[in-house]
Amino acid sequence: MLYEAFYRYFEIFLVVFVRMVGMFTSAPFFSGQALPMRVKLSFAFFVSLVLVPLVVGYNIPQPQGFMELGADMVVNFVIGFGLGSFVYFCVSAFQNAAHMFSMQMGMGINEVYDPMSEQQTPALGNVLGILILLLFLRVDGHIYLVQVVAESFRSFWRLDGTSLNILVKSLGAGIMVLFDTGLRIAFPVIAVSLLLDVAVAMIGRVAPQFNVMIMGFHIKLIVGFVVLWLFLPVLVNVGEALVDQALSDVYRLVRMIKQGGGA
């Protein structure tokens, strides 16, 4: 009987599996080389097995023919990838902030490989990336994302032109949050660095015999770390609020796509 049920709903399983894979390849914690692809696929496989009975209960029409099945798989991968990318853009504001103030502190050349974003990032960017990832796991964001994707099957199965436009605009809004929030986080360090530049320039005018370039480099580095240390408790609160807002926004995005005409 289990074999018959699996054979009957195999097309639905494939579509559910593809949407979960799309989310796992772009969402925080799941994306990146830190989690091997075989682990992602295995996790998506078992989660899809659990979700298939739930999705079948939504009375979703089965694909008719290979062409419709292929189209559904492509669309559902885009859906899962879009939902995961939206949260990723919002959460990545911390690493973007580290890029901004690392240059001001003189740590722009101190870069290491980040397996989560798969690119070279400043050392402080790695620290802030781990911080926001721990905050994401603290509120069970990885579990909530799976729930949102499962809930999305009840809201819509396919995308039309209006719902696709909503998804694209939401991704654009997520990129805006990435830069806006990153600038807000980095602003205290950048402001102090600019004030130090002005002070060092004034010292250079008053006492030209001092090597203000070397002296200013060390002062900016020390003061930048002090400001970052003083700002750290506020940074944790900002990170928690950012993660909560991102998770609530992705659920609101699912509802907007449903209202926009997602089938």
pLDDT of residue 108: 59
Q: Which of 11, 263, 41 is nearest to 153 (CA)?
A: 263
Q: Please determine, for residue 86, whether its predicted confidence score (pLDDT) is greater than 60.
A: yes
Q: Please determine, for residue 207, whether its predicted confidence score (pLDDT) is greater than 80.
A: no
122 membership: H or E segment, kind and range: strand 119-122
pLDDT of residue 186: 79
Q: Which of 79, 89, 85 is nearest to 17 (CA)?
A: 79
CB atoms within 10 A of CB 164: 19
pLDDT of residue 112: 60
**What integer best gives the mean pLDDT of the chain?**
76
pLDDT of residue 121: 67
The pTM of this model reads 0.76
At residue 173, the 3 state secondary structure works out as helix
pLDDT in tens, 49-84: 888 877 777 667 666 767 777 777 888 888 888 888
pLDDT in tens, 100-127: 777 766 665 666 666 555 666 666 767 7
Band of residue 42 on the pLDDT scale cut at 50, 70, 90: confident
